[in-house]
Amino acid sequence: MNYTDQKRSYPDKDSKVIAIINQKGGVGKSTTAINLSAALGEAKKKTLLIDFDPQGNSTSGYGIEKDELEYDIYDGILNETPIDSLIHSTPEDRVYVIPATIQLAGAEIELVNEEDREHILKKAIEPIKNDFDYIFIDCPPSLGLLTINALVAADSLLVPIQCEYYALEGVSKLLESMEMVKNSLNPGLEVFGVVMTMFDSRTTLSKQVVEEVSTYFGDKMFKTVIPRNIKIAEAPSHGLPITMYARISKGALAYTKLSKEVTRRG
């Protein structure tokens, strides 16, 4: 189904554009992007996931073959390819993806010479912005020009944090970058929420990290924590979100619960 054939849940309400971001790799960023968007789709929220990471994990996680793509988000931001022509349907009804490939890695350098380079992504998605209830941007694990573009395009940030010893390492730098963008380029930018990932209820460390992050972020931290779950790890190799691959697994139930918290926040 073409994304224009489907109506939004609340057509009179502005869509939320949320950048999913953490400059540390391996924290469950793309996993959260894929599975949260799927859970929202199941809740009848029309959702777009923009893969803005050259690794393209959100693309392959939805079963899109990167080698077969004629165009991707790179073309949307640097070749002026119409953004609506980049949108792919997914196995999950109401969820759509704008894919990324390794070609996007060169965009950091190419964007340097572009006029108004920090606003390229924001301008690109403007024509489709209100066609969706939620737009998620899966950011690369860095604080370069691609991420700055995502911060300018977004209304708010969702920060996945892994339940590990150095959980908060680098988070202060991320928040500094957010404040810099807020002060100079995007005054409305805020933290939408923080989600703890890879939680192991058997370990004291996981519980201590959750307490530490809760103290740091207060009510910005979601009550739902995402557990370590083998089904979550397996799902991307099947090109499916966890809510379709293993519907009654702990991972699927956690992302469904998280999606309800997200919709309650706006």
Cβ atoms within 10 Å of 182's Cβ, excluding its own: 15
One digit per residue, the tens of pLDDT, for the chain of length 266 reads 677 778 888 887 778 999 999 988 888 899 999 999 999 999 999 999 999 999 999 999 999 999 999 999 999 999 989 999 999 999 998 999 999 999 999 998 899 888 889 999 999 999 999 999 999 999 999 889 999 999 999 999 999 998 888 777 778 888 889 999 999 999 999 999 999 998 888 888 888 888 888 898 999 999 999 999 999 999 999 999 999 999 999 999 999 999 999 999 87
Structure tokens at 52: 């803005």
| β-strand pairing of 16-20 with 156-162 | parallel
Which amino acid belongs to residue 9?
S
Burial class (CB in 10 A: 0-12, 13-18, 19+), 44: exposed
Instruction: Judge contact between 221 and 197, C-beta under 8 A.
Output: no
| β-strand pairing of 134-138 with 47-51 | parallel
Which amino acid belongs to residue 107?
A
